Structure 1
C-alpha cells in the first residue's frame, strides 16, 4: 500500500506542475461570479481531462451571487476626513448611499468574552477586531466575530489584517439573513481608528453592493477502480480579487492535477474508484461543496470512503493534515507520508475551514492538507491579502505536497480498510 517509487518519481519529474500553477494564477484572483473565475473553470476542465484521461462532468451549482460596486472608509475629524484602505467582505450588506457614521470600538482579538464585556459600548457603534492567522489551533474565524458583533448591536464591522499596508479580504459568512456592513482593513487603518484621550474615533463606512442569483460549476473526473467505494481528491478554484490567490488555492488545484496525472495510469490497481473534484464558491462559506454533497443521492455519499482536500498546500515546507475528528484518517496519513519520505503532521479536531468540513458533516472521513499550520511567520500569512502571489510559492513545496497527497490517496485507493 506504500506509494510506488515510480509514482513518486513521476511527480518529481512532472514538467507540467509549475506551468499549470502559473496558468491558474494568470487567470487572476478568481472571485466567484467574475470573468476570472470563469476563465479558470474552463482551464481546469481542460487540464483535468488531460490529467485523468476522463471527460469532465460540469455540474451547474446555483448560489447567492454578490458583488461590490463601491467600498470606502473615512476617519472623520473636526476639520478633515481621511480615507483609509479597506476591502469589502464577501456578502457584506450595503449601506445607505451616504454611508453610516458611528464611533469605533476596538474589541481586541474579538473573542465572545470580549464582545460580552464591551456589549454596553457596542450598541450603535462600529466593532473593530483583529484578523488571526488562520492556519492554527484555536483560531477564531471572522464569521464568529461578525456574528458576535451583530448580536451586540454593532452597526458596522471592521477586521484588521496583520500585514503592513495590506487590507485583509475574506467572507462575512452572511447568508440570506440581515447583516451589518463589513470591511477588511490594514493595521495602519486600525491604528488611526484607535481610541484616544478624547474618546472613540468616528468613521464613515460606505458600501454599494448587488445581490443576484448566480451559478458556478462543480467539475468532476471519475477514474474507475475495482470496487464501488470512492476516494474523492478535491480542491477549490475560487479566490479573492486583491491578488492571484496563489497559495489559496492555485497551489491546491495544481497539486491535485499533478496527483491525478500520476495516479490515473495505475487505475487497474485501485480497489476503490478515484473522483477528482474541483469546487468553486468555497470562499463563500464553503457553498459549492455543500450544495454538491447535499444534492447527491444518499447511497452515493455512503460509498465515499475518504475526502483528501488540498487547500493552501504551499507557502511553507511544513505540511499538516486536519483530520476532522477521524482517528483512522490520522493514522493513515502518518503511515503513508512517513513511508513516502514526506512526513506530515496531523491535527485531529475538526476545523471547518475548507471543503473537507462538508464531507465530515455527512459522516464521510475527510482531511485537509495545508501548509504552514501553527507557523505564522510562513508565507501563508499573506493569504487573503494582495500579497498572495506566485512568488510566495516554491516549486519544491508544490512537489512535496503532491508526493504527500499522492501517498495518502494511493493508500486509500488500494486498501479496503474502513476509515470511519
Structure 2
C-alpha cells in the first residue's frame, strides 16, 4: 500500500476514535453512525441504505460498591445488567476464580444469595468462557449478584450481561486491586453492598448498507459501529471500521475484475448480543441468503502481532483463506470451532459461510486484552497493524469477489473440528 493509503486509513481510524466509545443510544454512537454513512458513501460511491433496528436501549444511572468498613470500590456496570432494589443488595462475595463449570458445581451449595466473583478472560482464545455463560450459571445457581475482575492492574471491564428477554443479575466489572482488597485470603467471604440503578426505553439503531451489485450474488464485508463507554473502542471496533473502508475503496477500484457484487454492511448494536446483524439476517429471504457467497467480518483486527480467521465450522473456506493469505504474504491462523463473539455468528447460524478476522487470538500479552476496558484507545493500536489487516482483507475480499461459482459452492461445506 502507498503512503497515501496508509495516511487515509489512519486518518479515518482517528476520526472514528474521535467519536468516543460509541455505546448504542448515546450521542457518541449517533455521531459515529453519521460519520460512517459519509465515509462509506465516499469509499463505495453509493449512498447508504439505512435499516432501522429496534432494540431496548439501556443506561446505568447510578452504581456503587461498598466493601467492609464502608470502603467505596471502583466498578463498571455491565451492559444490560439488572438493577438492584433502591437500597442496593447486601450480601457476601464468593470468589469462584476463573468461573469454570467445575467451580460453579463445586460451590453450588454456597452460591444462593451471594454475589459471585469471577475473572475476565482474554476474549480471543480457544478456551475462553464467555462472561454471559458465567452469568447464566450464576443465575441458575441462585446468586444475588455478579462481579467480574478486570484483566490487568487498574482495569475494570465492561461487556454485555444478557441477551434480549433473558434473565440477568445486577452485574459489574471491578479491578484486580478491588478484588484483592475484598478477598485478601482464600475462602474470604466479605460482606458488601452493591447498588445499580438502570433505565430502559424502546429505541432504534441504524444499520448502514452500501450495495455495489454485479451479476451473480454478493460478498458481504461487515464491521460493527457501536462500542462501550470506558474509552474509544479503538480496537473493538474502530480498527475493523477503518480497515473495511480502506478495503472497500481498493476493491471498488478493481470492480472490472468482479464475478459477484459487494455489500458493505456497518452493523449496529453488536454489543447488544449481535442485535443489528441478527435483525439483518432474519429479514433475508431464502434466495437472498443463498446469494451471499461469504461474509467477511472485520472485528478487532488490530491490537496483536498475528491475525486469525474464526471460521465458524465452515471447513470449506479454510483452504481458500490460506491461499489468499499466501498471495498477500501474510500469515493467517485458523480457528474452526464456532464462536458467537461477533456478527459473523448470525450469518453462520443461517448457513452462510462466514468468518471473523481478529488480531491477537490466543496471545495473552497482546493489546487485544484491553478490549472492554479504559485502555481500548488508539494508543493501543500500531499503525502497521491496520495496514497489515487491510492488505490481508483486500486479498481475501478480491479472491472472494472473483472466485468461480464452483469454488464458492465448496465454501458451504461445514465440518466440526
TM-score by length of 1: 0.95
**d(CA) in 1 for partners of 2:240 and 2:113?**
42
- Cα distance 1:189–1:358, how it changes in 2: closer, same or farther (>3 A)? same
- Cα distance 1:197–1:54, how it changes in 2: closer, same or farther (>3 A)? closer
Counterpart in 1 of 2:45?
53
Question: Structure 1 residue 142 and structure 2 residue 134: aligned?
Answer: no
Counterpart in 2 of 1:218?
207
Once the 2 structures are TM-superposed, how far is the Cα of residue 65 of structure 1 from its aligned partner?
1.2
Question: Structure 1 residue 181 and structure 2 residue 173: aligned?
Answer: no
Deviation per CA, 1:201-239, whole angstroms, max 9, x where unpaired?
Answer: 011110010111111011000112232x11000000110
**d(CA) in 2 for partners of 1:118 and 1:175?**
28
Aligned pairs, number: 408
Once the two structures are overlaid, the 10-residue window that deviates more, 17-26 or 173-182, is 173-182
Q: Is the 8 A contact 2:161 2:168 kept in 1?
A: no
Counterpart in 2 of 1:21?
13
Question: Structure 1 residue 68 and structure 2 residue 60: aligned?
Answer: yes
Once the 2 structures are TM-superposed, how far is the Cα of residue 314 of structure 1 from its aligned partner?
0.4
RMSD after superposition:
1.3
**d(CA) in 1 for partners of 2:32 and 2:374?**
19
Structure 1 ranges of 4+ moved more than 6 A? none
Deviation per CA, 1:120-160, whole angstroms, max 9, x where unpaired?
Answer: 00101000001001111111000000000001100000000
Q: Is the 8 A contact 1:51 1:258 kept in 2?
A: yes
Equivalent residue for 2:308, pick from 293, 296, 320: 320
**d(CA) in 2 for partners of 1:251 and 1:197?**
40
**d(CA) in 2 for partners of 1:197 and 1:281?**
39
Counterpart in 1 of 2:273?
285
Once the 2 structures are TM-superposed, how far is the Cα of residue 195 of structure 1 from its aligned partner?
6.2
Question: Structure 1 residue 275 and structure 2 residue 263: aligned?
Answer: yes
Once the 2 structures are TM-superposed, how far is the Cα of residue 10 of structure 1 from its aligned partner?
5.6
Q: Is the 8 A contact 2:306 2:331 kept in 1?
A: no
TM-score by length of 2: 0.95
Q: Is the 8 A contact 2:65 2:195 kept in 1?
A: yes
1:120 alignment partner, SS class: coil
Question: Structure 1 residue 206 and structure 2 residue 195: aligned?
Answer: yes
Counterpart in 2 of 1:381?
369
**d(CA) in 2 for partners of 1:411 and 1:12?**
24
Equivalent residue for 2:28, pick from 16, 33, 36: 36
Once the 2 structures are TM-superposed, how far is the Cα of residue 317 of structure 1 from its aligned partner?
2.3
Counterpart in 2 of 1:399?
387
**d(CA) in 2 for partners of 1:89 and 1:165?**
17
Q: Is the 8 A contact 1:11 1:402 kept in 2?
A: no
Equivalent residue for 1:339, pick from 324, 327, 330: 327
**d(CA) in 1 for partners of 2:28 and 2:332?**
33
Question: Structure 1 residue 158 and structure 2 residue 147: aligned?
Answer: yes
1:283 alignment partner, SS class: coil
Q: Is the 8 A contact 1:318 1:344 kept in 2?
A: yes
Once the 2 structures are TM-superposed, how far is the Cα of residue 189 of structure 1 from its aligned partner?
1.0
Once the 2 structures are TM-superposed, how far is the Cα of residue 298 of structure 1 from its aligned partner?
2.1
Q: Is the 8 A contact 1:169 1:240 kept in 2?
A: yes
**d(CA) in 2 for partners of 1:21 and 1:137?**
28
Q: Is the 8 A contact 1:11 1:258 kept in 2?
A: no
Q: Is the 8 A contact 1:225 1:269 kept in 2?
A: no
Counterpart in 2 of 1:102?
91
- Cα distance 1:11–1:297, how it changes in 2: closer, same or farther (>3 A)? farther
Question: Structure 1 residue 301 and structure 2 residue 289: aligned?
Answer: yes
